[in-house]
Amino acid sequence: MPAAELDPSEIKKDFPIFDKPINGKRLVYLDSAATSQKPRQVVDAIVNYYYTFNANIHRGIYKISEQATEEYERSKEQVARFVNAGKGENIIYVRNTTEALNTVALTFGNKNVSEGDHILISDMEHHSNIVPWQLLAKRKSATLDFAPLKDNAFIDMSSYEKLLQNNPKIVALTHVSNVLGTINDIKKIASMAKKAGATVVVDGAQSVPHMPVDVSDIGCDFFAFSAHKMLGPSGIGVLYGKKELLETTEPLFGGGDMISSVRRSGSEWNEIPWKFEAGTPNIEGAIGLGAAIKYLEGIGMQRIRNHEKSITRYAMESISSIPGAEIYGPKLGMTSERGGVLSFGLNGVHPHDVSQIFDSEGIAIRAGHHCAMPLVTEVLRKGSVSRMSFYIYNDESDVDAAVSAIKKVKSIFHIT
């Protein structure tokens, strides 16, 4: 039975930010790919921690420290269940997706990549899934290959197969593009890469907040995402790693909590995942992320995916009928391979001007290269693009507001 549609007007009631007018208008927030808004339930969970059981974890033999430890560890179990990662021991808390990917490059990458090796990424990556590999390739005199795209939206699989013949040590790929919205066939690609002998790293920053994700089914070795894009607080992100890889990889940081013993002659590491979490962690972040997952599970990830698919289709239909507007990424009719991200251009008008006019209408969109410069400047051959992105609190009236704003831009710039 298909899941019942979600009701953004009901959901919005949980998000106090929508109560306050922006530029005298209601806030139309179309920038959730950058960061999502936060429901009261998440903020309350954080406030409740500080007001009622604030203490450091893993050390106090007293009630509130035990409670803080329990809540911290419970949130890991929630994350593990949410993405089907087995137990909480496979979940490492970091600051964000960027830190998760850098951690893999600096630990697993440093140990396993040598001179002459290849690392394979793609032309649709965010800088956080490019630069750590560039740095690693430079440190090790390895080669970083970029898989090209077909029709500016999908990975060119015949080129990909050829690049896999180099037997890359690491294959890193985004699950969903933050500019094109493309949903990669990540399970198939992970399986191809594994057959070629690669360790597979997936950037799930734009998938986990928006659709059911099963890292075990994908079959990847590492998987990264950020809490702040999925209703949670900023400053906490997740690195999932397969148990055997985490156990055999050296830690990145040394300090408190990550050791089992320290002597003058050397130290022994704590068990996973704590081996990778030196120092006092982001306790409030973990608790907030737990509350965010509870909220998302209360709605249901498949319902969220269905909602975004339908609103994206509506937006594509509305915008593609406007003369002078160009949409990037998978075409209409391919919404099953497209997330709720819609980048567009407007006949010569600079995206910063588009964004400013949108802002005057209370509509938040993003303009720029979206931290994906190789894609925007070298593949799409644009200086920048405008982007709207959708989430659970958006509905068709938000798209209608965006369409009116596009018409306003056109009239200001005298575009017919």
Nearest approach, Cβ of residue 345 and ligand 7TS (Å)? 17
Cα 407 from chain centroid (whole Å): 31
Nearest approach, Cβ of residue 205 and ligand 7TS (Å)? 4
Closest CA to 121 of 166, 66, 59: 166
Nearest approach, Cβ of residue 126 and ligand 7TS (Å)? 4
DSSP string, 55-113: --SSS--SHHHHHHHHHHHHHHHHHHHHTT-SSGGGEEEESSHHHHHHHHIIIIIHHH-
Single out the catalytic residue among 371, 375, 388, 392.
371
Say how far apart CA 240 and CA 88 lie, in whole Å: 9
Nearest approach, Cβ of residue 155 and ligand 7TS (Å)? 14
Nearest approach, Cβ of residue 84 and ligand 7TS (Å)? 20
Nearer to ligand 7TS, 178 or 270 (CB): 178
Nearer to ligand 7TS, 32 or 199 (CB): 32
Nearer to ligand 7TS, 118 or 126 (CB): 126
Nearer to ligand 7TS, 45 or 375 (CB): 375
The single residue listed with the structure tokens 């709605």 is 299
Closest CA to 393 of 15, 43, 3, 5: 15
In sequence order, what are the residues at sequence separation of 6 or more whose Cβ sits closer than 8 angstroms to the Cβ of residue 235?
95, 96, 228, 282, 285
The single residue listed with the structure tokens 């949903």 is 183
CB 263 within 8 A of CB 120: no
Which phi and psi (to 5°) does residue 248 adopt? Answer: -100, 0
Our CA angle for 49, 392, 225, nearest 5°, is 60
Q: Where does this chain bind ligand 7TS (CB under 6 A)?
A: 33-34, 96-98, 126, 128-129, 174, 178, 203, 205-206, 226, 366, 370-371
CB 241 within 8 A of CB 221: yes
Say how far apart CA 319 and CA 285 lie, in whole Å: 38
Nearer to ligand 7TS, 145 or 203 (CB): 203
Nearer to ligand 7TS, 163 or 385 (CB): 385
Nearer to ligand 7TS, 242 or 370 (CB): 370
Cα 170 from chain centroid (whole Å): 20
Which phi and psi (to 5°) does residue 415 adopt? Answer: -100, 130
Nearest approach, Cβ of residue 63 and ligand 7TS (Å)? 34
Using the 8-state DSSP alphabet, how is residue 278 labeled? Answer: -
Nearest approach, Cβ of residue 128 and ligand 7TS (Å)? 4
371 is catalytic: yes
Active-site residue list: 371
